[in-house]
Amino acid sequence: MGKRIVISGPRGAGKGTLVEHALSRFGGQHGLRRMVSTTSRPRRPLEVNGTHYNFRRPEEIRALWEVRELFWVENIGGHLYGLERCAAEVPCGIIDVHPPGARIIRDWATAQGDKTLLVGVFAPRGDRLRRLVEREKGLYNALLRLAEDPVSPNTNDYADFDLRIENGDLMDYEDGGRISPGFTEALDRMKKFLFEG
């Protein structure tokens, strides 16, 4: 039986950071692997094809969709996003996607007899903007990214998710790092999901 953890939420909430924390704790010998989304958007500096995304031309994505090798295709900000079947068919995987994709992965996994854990990650607008300013190298680009975000920041829109957390204030962690209480809760829930049930 496969297990998939699906992270979703608005831009700047910390989805990618939560995925990295989970992979550092449960990857390697524990077997958790990243399920890599496909996109037509340009690669950003430091992004690696096949690690952060599978970067493809729009016509390649459309061709994959036509032969049913993609679960879904979304147009977000003028770029196509989706998940290829080969990326989803890992025995133990984690991915961050928009809510419609999260629900499609859950429904597909359930039909396969697999389990999913859907986690909604949220943060106050000011925290999201601060993170986007750092990532987008400036306030103007960060405000544009925040304004064009198609994902609702309202936790009530994620009522069907297994867990909804807020990535707010940081606290000290035993390894000397800092992590939000919401991330601690999510990582604890992931551990139980992966190893206890």
What pLDDT is recorded for position 149?
Answer: 78
CATH number at 3-34+91-195: 3.40.50.300
pLDDT 10s digits, 44-55: 888 899 988 999
Span(s) in the chain for CATH 3.40.50.300? 3-34+91-195
What pLDDT is recorded for position 193?
Answer: 94
What pLDDT is recorded for position 73?
Answer: 87
The CA-to-CA distance between both ends of the chain, in Å, stands at: 11
What pLDDT is recorded for position 179?
Answer: 67
Q: Return the DSSP state at 29.
A: G
pLDDT 10s digits, 87-105: 888 889 999 988 888 999 9
Q: Contact at 8 Å (CB) between 190 and 184?
A: no
How is 126-191 classified by DSSP, letter by letter? HHHHHHHHHHHTSHHHHHHHHHT--S---GGGGTTSSEEEE--S-EE-TTS-EE-HHHHHHHHHHH
Query: Could you count the other beta carbons within 10 Å of the beta carbon of residue 193?
Result: 19
Span(s) in the chain for CATH 3.30.63.10? 36-89
Alpha-carbon span 123 to 19, nearest angstrom: 16
pLDDT of residue 172 exceeding 80, the answer is no
pLDDT of residue 57 exceeding 90, the answer is yes
pLDDT 10s digits, 155-169: 888 899 999 988 876
pLDDT of residue 171 exceeding 60, the answer is no
pTM: 0.86
Q: How confident is the model at residue 152 (pLDDT cuts 50, 70, 90)?
A: confident
CATH superfamily of domain region 36-89: Guanylate Kinase phosphate binding domain (3.30.63.10)
pLDDT 10s digits, 105-126: 999 999 999 999 999 998 888 8
Q: How confident is the model at residue 66 (pLDDT cuts 50, 70, 90)?
A: very high
